[in-house]
Amino acid sequence: MHFFYCESLNRSSFIIRISGEEFKHFRALRVGKSELVAIVDGNGLAGIGFVKEISGKEALIEINHYVENLGESDWVVDLALGILDSKERLEYAFEKSVELRISNFLPLITKYTLRNSFDKSRLFKKGISAIKQTGRSRIPEILDPLSFDALYDLLKDYDLVLVSDFTGKRFEPFNSEIKKILLVVGPEGGFTEKELAKFKKKKNVEIVKLGNYKLRSETAAVCLLYLINHYLQM
């Protein structure tokens, strides 16, 4: 079943028009008349329906029923990632993290962060593309940049915090009853010794490394999310 995005979707909608850029995506997928599709609003609402009509500029979808949180995880997994100097690498990390079901994205400013800002609108567009590709109905909330101290104050809100660093211990399975997890990955230069020492003061924080090779930040984020998904779904 193919997914399409409609920001104005609501439960009173019975016919949805797919046009513009979204219709180009519709055409590229070669969706046919009477085919079952999902229309999502990015906030967790999904309308399931059939293609009623296709013209040269738009398609009409007749909604059969609505579903909340279609394709979403039962766990809250947030990602705090040091803002990367390369916007392409940051967007890649965000897009793949959306596919791997993060709930919220926390851009992080640390000692070694080279940039303090990013284009939120571009990330949002990447999020739309990712939820359609991977079949989910919610775009993760993209927070404003957080300082290290601001992030540190949030650690208490999580059952488990995993900080990726090459100096940490090997990743090991954890208690699957944990429901709220924060993954923390530093920028290109990683974390300072002072920052790591501060993390270690928290009982719910574990410093982990992902094998014997040093990884780029975006690679570490994707690998860590894959491992979390693997153990949560076992």
- pLDDT (mean) for 3-22: 96
- pLDDT (mean) for 45-49: 98
Q: So what's the pLDDT on residue 95?
A: 98
Ramachandran category for residue 20: left, alpha or beta (phi over 0 → left; psi -120 to 50 → alpha): left
pLDDT interval class at 198 (50, 70, 90): very high
What lies within 8 Å, CB to CB, of 96 at 6+ separation is: 130, 218, 221, 222, 225
Q: Are 38 and 46 in contact (CB under 8 A)?
A: yes
Express each pLDDT in 154-173 by its tens digit: 999 999 999 999 999 998 88
Q: So what's the pLDDT on residue 234?
A: 63
- Whether 232 has a pLDDT exceeding 90, the answer reads no
Q: So what's the pLDDT on residue 174?
A: 78
Question: 0.75 cut: is pTM over it?
Answer: yes
Q: So what's the pLDDT on residue 233?
A: 77
Percent of the chain residues topping a pLDDT of 90: 93
- pLDDT (mean) for 89-116: 97
Q: So what's the pLDDT on residue 231?
A: 84
Domains of the chain: 2-68 (2.40.240.20), 76-232 (3.40.1280.10)
Q: So what's the pLDDT on residue 175?
A: 73
- Whether 126 has a pLDDT exceeding 70, the answer reads yes
- What string of DSSP letters covers 7-24? TT--TT--EEEEEHHHHH
| Buried b / exposed e along 179-205 (16+ C-beta atoms within 10 A) | eebbbbbbbbebbeeebbebbeeeeeb
- pLDDT (mean) for 117-144: 97
| Buried b / exposed e along 65-91 (16+ C-beta atoms within 10 A) | ebeeebbebebbbbbbbbbbeeeeebb
